Structure 1
Amino acid sequence: MRSLLPLATVLGLVLRAHGLFETTFHSSSVVVQPFTILERSPLYDPHDTNLFLICPNGVAVAQPGAAIYKSNGELVWADSKFGNCYDFNVQMYNGQQYLTMWVGAGSAAVGQQMGFGTVLMMNSSYQVVMNVSAVNPEGTDLHEFNIVKPENKTALITAFHTIPMDLSSIGGPVDGWYSNGVIQEIDIATGAVLFNWTTFDHISLLESYNNISLTGQGSSEANPFDAVHINSIDKDREGNYIISARHSQAIYKIAANGTILWRLGGKMSDFTAIGNDTEFHFQHHARWRMDETHISLYDDGAAVFISTVNVIDEPVATGKYLKVDQEKMTVSLTKRFFPSPNRNYTLAEGSTEPYGDTVIVGYGSVPWLEAYSFETEKLLFSAVIGPNNASLWNGGVSNYRAFKTSTVEFTGHPTQPPNVSVTGGDIYVSWNGATHVASYTLLTGPSVDKVSKAVTNVPKSGFETKISGEGSQDFISVAALAANGTTLGQSAVYKISDGNAAGY
């Protein structure tokens, strides 16, 4: 049974707690949400090599930005200069690895705020080397930047374009406004549009679950009717596309000539369900899996259309694998991943992404990130972005999608040296983005140009490591060492008396 539940009470509490839980450091200006581990199997990532990529957003986040965390909750890298960011991932392009993220203004939750921005591609030194954008008056929407495998030369991008439209067939104004969903395949090197497709041309207004009389959308250019709301694109080996459309609760397969080949879910599904739990509601992140025999998706179970209209169809959101038989036109559930320790629906966002024998599920507007055994569906790891009680909020802290890499696959090489703060006789050191530091050596000397005597070596302990300044002379510096003893980098020289930098 469908119910309409406002979040005014919850959001009021969140707003009063705005910015309360950010973590700060002595040696770095980085301000981040904590990454709190709720559950962890002893067998999950025993050497803490996993790196989770997140972009916390929401009314409880005072300073949004991108961040990378380890499985033990340790911050590895963060940067708030990007501001509002979504879809932080590691992808291959032309044989090289890049960090990719959308940056700009907007929110993934509500149609007319789907984002006006661009996609950044960064190298392993966290330097932006390329911007990629849709060819579209409103710029690039935040929902998708998917580099097409195996060629790794083109990207699938979402956009939207507000246009006039007669909405009287669904109870709206004759001179109404429509949020036209756009998907494009872009040649990354040249920016050329290789494929362009719009919802206006192919999807009827009658397929939408967005109730125009309830939401009041469509009355103006600033408040267009968001009938479809595309939030993911994938491409198969034959050159066809699949899109996830949240507001029609359907996945569409689209041929290279633009024709809709079939619909899975929604009001006009072409598939017959075999077994239970094949339905999904307001889903995200649909991807072909298992040699294109399955589609994985994140089943939100709910949606927010505007800030006061929330539709709840399922009590709990889950990651799903659906077996899609395109010959018999049947669909069946093969895998389902439930959140723990708390269960809730999700009003927006979310992802389901496999990594070897595990699956990472990001719960979107509920700030959970969880890892499961693909074979057994058993929970192996659970974390919340923010403190423990942030898990009770739906929208206070959110993370659009949850992706990971590892220190085996990715090595961060910051261009800046380690940063040091001298506070009360103690030395605090951090090196934002360095992935392979094992220990720090405190060096000292009587002058700026004679800082070479090793005082002590201490294991790296979290993002910021504290070292006693006892035994130091007038000047100090800190060297960062790898596990084999190789010096990876060294800080500036600091004056111990006042903590000011004295030189390199």
Structure 2
Amino acid sequence: MRWPFPLVALCGALSVPVQALFETTYHSSSVVVQPFTILEKSPLYDPDNTNLFLVCPNGLEVAEPGAAIYKSNGELVWAESSFGNCYNFNYQTYDGQQYLTLWVGAGGAAVGSQMGFGTVLMMNSSYDVVMNVSAVNPEGTDLHEFNIVKPENKTVLVTAFHTIPMDLSSIGGPVDGWYSNDIIQEIDIATGAVLFNWTTFDHVALTESYNNISLTGQGFTEDNPFDAVHINSIDKDLEGNYLISARHTQTIYKIAANETILWRLGGKMSNFTALGKGTEFHFQHHVRWRMDETHISVFDDGGAFIATDVIIDEPVATGKYLKVDQEAMTVSLTKQFIPGPNRNYTLAEGSTEPYGDTVVVGYGYTPWTQAYSFDTEELLFSAVIGPDNASLWNDNGINNYRAFQTSTLEFTGHPKLPPNVSVTDGAIFVSWNGATHVASYTLLTGPSVWDVSKKVTKVPKSGFETKIKSAGSSEFIVVAALAANGTTLGKSAVYRTSNGTVASD
């Protein structure tokens, strides 16, 4: 096949990427982020820029990984890098309240010593961490899943991995080998109690795996166990059965509450007959029940890393809706969302998530976030994390595990810290990290710390950071943030115009 870019560049064989090459900095904030570059946007898509995209940029090009929220015009709304590694940033309902949820911890999506060990944070609309949730597992909570179960919204599905001894001689490995045992758990969020626990060791044969032990060299040490299954998503149906996606067996499993595997879709042992073309998927991610559980959505990566090799089964990664007839045991393709303006496979990660009459597809290792009409499958919006050529970087550039969305109609971010101001080269810069509904800023001035009330000017908010001319200011200034209706949402501290220092809290 024809490669969309050189394989040696993708594998990083020629050069090591320069760290943080394209990151953006600001005068009034310590936030350092990659840009969210708009590639295409239909005039009919989100004309008021109310949609908010939740992403976690990671990779060697990201000096300070963390969570970020962007508007559909590319404007940064909120970013936080103190978390360290961050994955799976979402907006979910728990017990009648809305929360921002994200996995934080050390490591990444690999196994063994490189595995992600962490926990999941739940934040309120002021970005306070109000609780955290973890799997009951010696090696902590894995980053791949944190799915609050609907419609009750009281329990959550999480992934974990635990390295155990295992005889791998049947697949060419050592007798005294090591195996990465995938675990899925359903946890009661309020109590932390494990309500369901299921492991691949007990249910999935080694022969189902497409992972090649002789190629990867896995399984010979505890630090590098054989990653046979690699669960990356969990869902639950209304009857209490579990739906899991396993990347390395390229299979979707339906599991009963008694832990029995009810059927397999895809892989080497599929129980379904395909009707028509396009039902296959390779190294898939983010599998969910849709449309009253008659369909399954899936992100079809089309390719993967196996050790240092790149396997390409499909030239283009897509989001798909598959109609699953569990009586006739047939599967057919009903929706397929194709990337644009560029097309490429994805070597890991990705998501497919509906929002109203649109579907948002995140392309994972290829750091695109794209929105489509659900009815027509037409591409309405396309953005990339980083510069507009980021899709051509090697695998160590930027990646974003999943892309989720909310909107300013649902989520009102109101940080507890006030707007931040910088006086630089005679200009005033103001930003308010996390405030979602600021429409304008008013500059106030006065002769003393206790008298800063004279209005100098009012300017519309322009991006994450707004520049205000300082002409007309006296010794002290305050900047007020206003909503569209003129309501004051918050005020900065009092600053000295002479040197930009804070005169009072």
Tell me the TM-score normalized by structure 2: 0.97
- CA distance, structure 2, for counterparts of residue 183 and residue 102 of structure 1: 16
Q: Contact 1:360 / 1:369 at 8 angstroms: preserved in 2?
A: yes
Provide structure 2 residue ranges, at least 5 long, that are not aligned to the other structure. Answer: none
* 2:387 corresponding residue in structure 1: 387
- CA distance, structure 1, for counterparts of residue 106 and residue 304 of structure 2: 21
- CA distance, structure 2, for counterparts of residue 447 and residue 97 of structure 1: 42
* 2:499 corresponding residue in structure 1: 498
- CA distance, structure 2, for counterparts of residue 367 and residue 257 of structure 1: 38
Matched residue pairs, number? 502
* 1:445 corresponding residue in structure 2: 446
SS at 2:151 equivalent: coil
- CA distance, structure 2, for counterparts of residue 159 and residue 112 of structure 1: 14
* 2:357 corresponding residue in structure 1: 357
Q: Contact 1:109 / 1:305 at 8 angstroms: preserved in 2?
A: no
* 2:109 corresponding residue in structure 1: 108
SS at 2:389 equivalent: helix
Deviation at 1:313, TM superposition (A): 1.0
Deviation at 1:62, TM superposition (A): 1.2
Q: Which whole-Å deviations, capped at 9, do the CAs of 1:66-89 have from their partners, x for residues lacking one?
A: 000000000000010111000000
The share of aligned pairs that are identical, in percent, is 80
* 2:200 corresponding residue in structure 1: 199
Q: Contact 1:141 / 1:158 at 8 angstroms: preserved in 2?
A: yes
Q: Contact 1:118 / 1:132 at 8 angstroms: preserved in 2?
A: yes
Q: Which whole-Å deviations, capped at 9, do the CAs of 1:8-65 have from their partners, x for residues lacking one?
A: 5343677333211000000000000000000000000000000000000012111111
* 1:372 corresponding residue in structure 2: 372
* 2:475 corresponding residue in structure 1: 474
- CA distance, structure 2, for counterparts of residue 483 and residue 34 of structure 1: 26
The aligned amino acid for 1:456 is T
Q: Which whole-Å deviations, capped at 9, do the CAs of 1:111-169 have from their partners, x for residues lacking one?
A: 76331000000000001010100000100000000000000000000000000000000
SS at 2:109 equivalent: coil
* 2:258 corresponding residue in structure 1: 257
Provide structure 1 residue ranges, at least 5 long, that are not aligned to the other structure. Answer: none
* 1:214 corresponding residue in structure 2: 215
* 1:483 corresponding residue in structure 2: 484
SS at 2:348 equivalent: coil
* 2:285 corresponding residue in structure 1: 284
304 and 34 in structure 1: CA distance in 2 versus 1, 3 angstrom threshold: same
Deviation at 1:476, TM superposition (A): 0.4
The aligned amino acid for 2:172 is G
Q: Which whole-Å deviations, capped at 9, do the CAs of 1:369-415 have from their partners, x for residues lacking one?
A: 00000000000000000001112125310000000000000000100
Q: Contact 2:111 / 2:224 at 8 angstroms: preserved in 1?
A: no
Deviation at 1:195, TM superposition (A): 0.1
- CA distance, structure 2, for counterparts of residue 87 and residue 248 of structure 1: 22
Q: Contact 2:446 / 2:475 at 8 angstroms: preserved in 1?
A: yes
- CA distance, structure 2, for counterparts of residue 337 and residue 313 of structure 1: 18
Deviation at 1:309, TM superposition (A): 2.4
The aligned amino acid for 1:325 is D
Q: Contact 2:52 / 2:70 at 8 angstroms: preserved in 1?
A: yes
Tell me the TM-score normalized by structure 1: 0.98
407 and 14 in structure 1: CA distance in 2 versus 1, 3 angstrom threshold: farther
Deviation at 1:109, TM superposition (A): 5.0
Deviation at 1:438, TM superposition (A): 0.5
* 1:36 corresponding residue in structure 2: 37
Q: Which whole-Å deviations, capped at 9, do the CAs of 1:393-449 have from their partners, x for residues lacking one?
A: 253100000000000000001000000000111100000000000000000000111
* 1:333 corresponding residue in structure 2: 333
Deviation at 1:311, TM superposition (A): 1.5
Deviation at 1:303, TM superposition (A): 1.1
SS at 1:206 equivalent: helix
Q: How does 1:305-320 map to 2 (within 5 A)?
A: 305-306=306-307, 308-320=308-320
Deviation at 1:310, TM superposition (A): 2.1
SS at 2:375 equivalent: coil
Kindly indicate whether residue 154 of structure 2 is the aligned counterpart of residue 158 of structure 1.
no
* 1:15 corresponding residue in structure 2: 16
SS at 1:391 equivalent: helix
Deviation at 1:106, TM superposition (A): 1.8
* 1:60 corresponding residue in structure 2: 61
- CA distance, structure 2, for counterparts of residue 6 and residue 303 of structure 1: 16
Q: How does 1:380-459 map to 2 (within 5 A)?
A: 380-395=380-395, 396-459=397-460
- CA distance, structure 2, for counterparts of residue 282 and residue 2 of structure 1: 20
* 1:303 corresponding residue in structure 2: 304
Q: How does 1:168-187 map to 2 (within 5 A)?
A: 168-187=169-188
37 and 110 in structure 1: CA distance in 2 versus 1, 3 angstrom threshold: farther
Q: Which whole-Å deviations, capped at 9, do the CAs of 1:267-317 have from their partners, x for residues lacking one?
A: 0000000000100000000000000000000000111133x1221111110
112 and 232 in structure 1: CA distance in 2 versus 1, 3 angstrom threshold: farther
* 1:71 corresponding residue in structure 2: 72
401 and 14 in structure 1: CA distance in 2 versus 1, 3 angstrom threshold: farther
* 1:118 corresponding residue in structure 2: 119
The aligned amino acid for 1:361 is V
SS at 1:200 equivalent: coil
Q: Which whole-Å deviations, capped at 9, do the CAs of 1:346-383 have from their partners, x for residues lacking one?
A: 11000000001100000000010000000000000000
Q: Contact 1:144 / 1:231 at 8 angstroms: preserved in 2?
A: yes
- CA distance, structure 2, for counterparts of residue 48 and residue 173 of structure 1: 56
394 and 344 in structure 1: CA distance in 2 versus 1, 3 angstrom threshold: farther
13 and 372 in structure 1: CA distance in 2 versus 1, 3 angstrom threshold: farther
The aligned amino acid for 1:64 is P
RMSD over aligned Cα atoms: 1.5
Deviation at 1:341, TM superposition (A): 1.1
Q: Contact 1:242 / 1:253 at 8 angstroms: preserved in 2?
A: yes
Q: Contact 1:14 / 1:60 at 8 angstroms: preserved in 2?
A: no
SS at 1:256 equivalent: coil
- CA distance, structure 2, for counterparts of residue 489 and residue 7 of structure 1: 51
SS at 2:377 equivalent: coil
- CA distance, structure 1, for counterparts of residue 15 and residue 379 of structure 2: 28
SS at 1:248 equivalent: coil
SS at 1:225 equivalent: coil
SS at 2:16 equivalent: helix
- CA distance, structure 1, for counterparts of residue 500 and residue 443 of structure 2: 14
